[in-house]
Amino acid sequence: MATATMKKRTTAKSANKNVKVLRLAAIEVKQGKNRKLYSFAADGKSLHDFCTISRVSRQGEEGLEGYQRPEVMAHINQIRAYLESENPLLPNAIVVAFDDTVKFKPDPGKAGTDSPFSRSGVLEIPIDNSIIEEDKPGWIVDGQQRSAALRDARISGFPVCVIGFLAEGLEEQRQQFILVNATKPLPKGLIYELLPSTGGKLPMALQRRRHPALLSERMNFDEDSPLHGMIRTPTNGTGVVADNTILKMLENSLTDGVLYLYTDIEDQLKLLKHFWSAVAEVFPDAWGLLPRKSRLMHGAGFISMGFLMDTIADRNRKTKSLSKELFKKELMPLKEVCSWTEGSWEFDGGNILKWNEVQNVPRHIQLLSSHLLGMYRELVWKK
């Protein structure tokens, strides 16, 4: 889809006779089997003539768009003040992903004089001020804050180093964005939200989180999900349950619980929707509230209920269908012993905590999980 869109943009641009071409001296560097990088200098004030910053957003039910984080104004203002100082220096290159309207023309006069890995020439970048921002030929993968500071700084011009590469579509741009930013202080939630729509090879730690992230995305945006719109992410700031809480619950079940037994994502989602729909109906007064008002929607409560989901599924593993009705029947006896929004929890060993004293820490998660599983065995399993 992304590649097809880029082709349409390419055709539209090429048909526009008013397009100006910016020609910049560049060095082409070969990497891998068939990848090429282009190193060149450009006036930082003109970057936005041919580059856009694609911020992460969602358009209705159309899915994730873009891949950049929102601008951080404090950081931009610091860079801007530095650029307006007496003798500034920006040694780090800005990384830009280009579409195929950008062309490299090698210098014929330098044939045979370049190294096996590089050659000099001219990079030709089309500039069309009539097109919308998203259709510009370049996307800034790394250097958003610097480019914004250069744009806003009260200076006449400032040359910067730029590294460009040709990208086949949004998926590759997202992959490069994650790889570039994974080791930087980038919000983890942003990386996790990008994972489901990112292809290619990623670090092992991110590979392991890709499937839980996809399940979380589906639970958040499927219309028939009991958690529809309720998982808080960088593009859904009004959600009540933290995305990391959902991921932790899913990872536990995928590793050692009921989700491990299913290989098809639709079967996994069906079970998850049945269980959490049952939870919502058994505990309606605690469902959908902010964590400070309901420990059911809190990290400790959600993760603990995930362990209970696995236990109920294990007890009923011979049942043909783990339906919502079955989960409701199994959960109902626990309704009177759960203090999600008021009262106190009476844990084993004389540990008593007020409902809102339960925190999202390993000790409290263990206490709450053991309590719920113990009550389930006493009130349901043994009967």
Higher per-residue confidence, 112 vs 136: 136
Question: For residues 113 and 362, what is the distance between their CA atoms, to the nearest angstrom?
Answer: 63
Instruction: Specify the pLDDT at position 31.
Output: 87
Closest CA relative to residue 150, chosen from 107, 90, 232: 90
Instruction: Specify the pLDDT at position 117.
Output: 87
Q: Which helix (H) or strand (E) holds 215?
A: helix 204-221
Closest CA relative to residue 258, chosen from 189, 327, 195, 325: 327
Question: For residues 274 and 258, what is the distance between their CA atoms, to the nearest angstrom?
Answer: 13
Query: Residue 374: is its pLDDT beyond 70?
Result: yes
Angle 299-315/265-282 helices, nearest 10 degrees? Answer: 110
Share of the chain above pLDDT 70, in %: 79
- Whole-number CA gyration radius for the chain: 27
Residue-wise pLDDT for 269-322, tens only, equals 999 999 999 999 999 999 999 999 999 999 999 999 999 999 999 999 888 789
What distance lies between CA 54 and its chain's CA centroid?
14
Query: Residue 183: is its pLDDT beyond 60?
Result: no
Instruction: Specify the pLDDT at position 4.
Output: 43
Q: How confident is the model at residue 47 (pLDDT cuts 50, 70, 90)?
A: very high
Q: How confident is the model at residue 14 (pLDDT cuts 50, 70, 90)?
A: very low
CB 300 within 8 A of CB 359: yes
Residue-wise pLDDT for 75-101, tens only, equals 788 889 899 988 899 999 999 989 889
Instruction: Specify the pLDDT at position 250.
Output: 96
Higher per-residue confidence, 184 vs 235: 235
Question: For residues 353 and 44, what is the distance between their CA atoms, to the nearest angstrom?
Answer: 57
Tokens 């007064």: give the residue.
285
Instruction: Specify the pLDDT at position 130.
Output: 84
Query: Residue 350: is its pLDDT beyond 60?
Result: yes
Q: How confident is the model at residue 5 (pLDDT cuts 50, 70, 90)?
A: very low
pTM: 0.60
Instruction: Specify the pLDDT at position 144.
Output: 85
Closest CA relative to residue 259, chosen from 314, 191, 329: 314
233-242 core/surface letters (b: 16 or more CB in 10 A; e: else):
bbbbeebbbb
Question: For residues 40 and 373, what is the distance between their CA atoms, to the nearest angstrom?
Answer: 62
Question: Where along the chain do its domains lie?
Answer: 2-186, 193-381
Pairing of strands 94-98, 159-166: parallel
Residue-wise pLDDT for 243-276, tens only, equals 999 999 999 999 999 999 998 999 999 999 999 9
Instruction: Specify the pLDDT at position 198.
Output: 67
Instruction: Specify the pLDDT at position 12.
Output: 45
In DSSP notation, 9-65 reads HHHHHHT-TT-EEEEEEEEEEEETTTEEEEEEEEEGGGHHHHEE--B-EE-TTS-EE
